[in-house]
Amino acid sequence: MRIVLQRVSRANVRVSGSIAGSINRGILLLVGVHRDDTADRAGFLAAKCADVRIFPDAEGKMNLSLKEVQGEALVVSQFTLFGDCSKGRRPSFIDAAPPEKGKALYEQFVAEMKKHIPKVETGIFGAMMEVELVNDGPVTLILER
């Protein structure tokens, strides 16, 4: 599983012109599922996203977690995170999970996030989405397991 985590002051995702999910201060998570991923990876990474210390404390140091600042999370599926551009000009997505498995593990990841964070919003798996965000910092991390 590969996740692009961005600290945001706000973010939303639209599907067919309508907002599917929207958050204020928190994290935007772009989630890609690998063909060999398992449910325990989803649980591990959800806990990591909730606990990683990327928010400033009173002294301005990145010392607080999403949980500690009572932030929100927007989770968007993105199979293209497993696009391989090493050969030719068109990416290969052979490493991405097939849709059924990808959807099940994406939903597992969302369920695990909800165990840690009160407000978790999502996009729609497999839909064409428009994601808007205000990256705070900017702070962007890549998490994998």
Model pLDDT for residues 28-66, shown as the tens digit of each residue? 999 999 999 999 999 999 999 999 999 999 999 999 999
What pLDDT digit, counting tens, does each position of 59-112 carry? 999 999 999 999 999 999 999 999 999 999 999 999 999 999 999 999 999 999
Q: Which of 6, 55, 70, 80 is catalytic?
A: 80
Q: Which of 6, 78, 108, 122 is catalytic?
A: 78
Q: Which of 55, 79, 109, 125 is catalytic?
A: 79
The pLDDT of residue 1:
97
Whether 38 is a known active-site residue: answer: no
**59 CB contacts (<8 Å, ≥6 apart)?**
none
Is residue 145's pLDDT more than 90?
no
The pLDDT of residue 22:
98
pTM (predicted TM-score): 0.96
Alpha-carbon radius of gyration of the chain: 15
The pLDDT of residue 133:
98
The pLDDT of residue 115:
97
Whether 140 is a known active-site residue: answer: no
- Beta-carbon-side half-sphere exposure of residue 140 (alpha carbons within 13 Å): 6
Cis? peptide before 138, omega within 30° of 0:
yes
Whether 78 is a known active-site residue: answer: yes
